[in-house]
Chains A and B, each alone.
Chain A
Amino acid sequence: MTVLDPTVSPVALLAADTSSRELLDEFSKREIRRAILTAVAVPGYQVPFASREMPVARGWGSGGLQITLALVGPEDTVKVIDQGEDAGVNAANLRRLIADTTGVDTTTVAGEATIVQTRHRVPEDELGDDQILVLQVPVPEPLRGVERNMTELRRMHAEGDYARMWVSLYEDLVRNGVVTQTTGYPCLVGGRYVMATTPIPRWDIPKLHRSAHLSLFGAGREKRIYAVPPHTDVEPLTFDDVPFEVERTEGAGCHRCRAGRPDSGVESFLVEIPSTDEGRWVCSDTDWCNRRLASATVTR
């Protein structure tokens, strides 16, 4: 990490820096960190930033990647997951890229990481106040489905005018009898801004509510960063008489660690593997599942 010297011309400084393998120069990091600080100061507000070109295509985690690269320092340990899995192609490649270009340590254990970059899941382990969750966001605008005009969208956010978001929930209930939105469920952050919760399942939304950790959302393609600071309210938009429900499949349990079965006493977010026998469900968070298996208390 280079320290910026205000007396040296930025251009000269950039030109001189040939040794670094880092993807972001110090100025870009500073710009991203400033956007992050604004985002933390105004929970749920989408802060524009100058999304850099990354060696991954936009829409493939470039936003989350830029946040992680702007934050990592020599003492950090990074965990990267894709749908809860450390071995997913997207996760494995991003992890290697981050480690190669910054020299930072990596881990698969959520509790050991200082930064957890994720696509579409929040780890099952509860994160602490010394940890940062970085989410890769494809569509940061929660109101995109009800309004396409950006000026109007900005006005709606500025005035807290979310009536049309509520109407879309109403229409969904009328048409289908249930709210069908399963991932990216709209939430009110800190009682002020409605936020898109990326495509994380509903299951994970309670884990963002008043959590000890900081959550940062990066959308590289849409050039937006937003945040949920620690201990901030994240309330899913719900009618008083239609309770918010998380995903549960009756009778399903993890085929490996048995989480979710009535006798296990624990629940986790399960994913289905196509199969004809009864072992169709496994934990989405593979590392959490592995650790449960390795501990003595679990018998197969």
Chain B
Amino acid sequence: MTPALRVDGLGKIYGPGTAADVAGTGPGFNRVVSPTSGGIVAAWDVSFEVGPGEALGVIGESGSGKSTVMRCICGDEDPTTGSIRLASVDGGDTDLRTLSAARRRALRVDRLAVVYQDPAEGLDLRLSAGGNVAERLTAAGWRNFGRIRERASELMLRTDVPLDRMDDPVREFSGGMRQRVQLAKALSNNPPVVLLDEPTTGLDASVAASVLDLIRDLLEELGVAAVVVSHDFSVIEMLTQRVVVMHHGRIVEAGLTDQLLEDPQHPYSQRLVGAARG
């Protein structure tokens, strides 16, 4: 079966340097700055697959390269090397990096949705909640006002945004509610793959819990493939079945979430789990 998302050998170097300058960086050397070029090897040799309906966690401390990987997949950044394939684009035969910038951006409409940590990145705060959803729908070619309204209210109901707030500017919403609207917008065109970058970081504990519940329900209900980036074990544990651990830009361990959290093998994973479990 074709994986919904497949990432092969992804690497990103900020600053000067090529593949040759990667030597001497990574967990083994405890550094990400290339000794030869001085460039920052933010991620290297990152490969994973996510099947339809599956949720993969990417965990690691801040600066470990997990957000870089996310930004490279969704097209916010152009990776230095590697390939990214979606089952929904040519059945997984085409590397997204070979597509034009315009086609790449178009994928964001209905193939590959992103939920950012900061709702301001994924939403236009001046628009109403419904307007934000309408932006995705009109981009996908919806031209019927009544049906756009219907779909927007359906999504608001699903993401627990009160319907009577649907026509208020998102600027007036609380952090938790903005994040719900961002979810509604991301899911508006039923994308087969959703990337969630620290979706609950910055929300207080009780709101984060309810947003997490919502995300879990939605992932189960809609059967989308998800990549969840987080430094928080409880998020990864609750949402994902499989997880990869990143350290100094490399994947140091991969496995089933339950197993990895109970019995981490790599010393860094052990430290990470130990720190979280106290």
A positions within 8 Å CB-CB of B: 158-159, 161-164, 166-167, 170-171, 173-175, 239-242
Contact = CB atoms under 8 A, between A and B. Distances in A.
B131 A163 contact: no
A170 B130 CA distance: 9
B128 A171 contact: yes
Contacts of B139: 161, 163
Contact of B143 (A158, A167, A171, A239): A239
Contacts of B136: 163
Dominant secondary structure of chain A at its interface with chain B: helix
A164 B146 contact: no
Contacts of B37: none
B138 A167 contact: yes
The 10 closest A-B pairs by CB, nearest first: A163-B139, A166-B138, A239-B145, A170-B134, A240-B144, A159-B102, A167-B135, A163-B138, A171-B131, A242-B145
B213 interface: no
B167 interface: yes
Interface in B75-130: 102, 105-106, 124, 127-128, 130
A237 to B, nearest CB: 9
Interface string B17-31: 000000000000000
Dominant secondary structure of chain B at its interface with chain A: helix
Name the interface size band of chain B.
Answer: 20 to 34
A170 B135 CA distance: 9
B148 interface: yes
A239 B128 contact: no
A161 B141 CA distance: 11
Nearest to B142: A166
Contacts of A239: 143-145, 148
Contacts of A170: 130-131, 134, 138, 145, 148
A150 B143 CA distance: 26
Given A161-B105, A170-B131, 5 more contacts: A162-B138, A171-B134, A239-B145, A241-B146, A242-B145
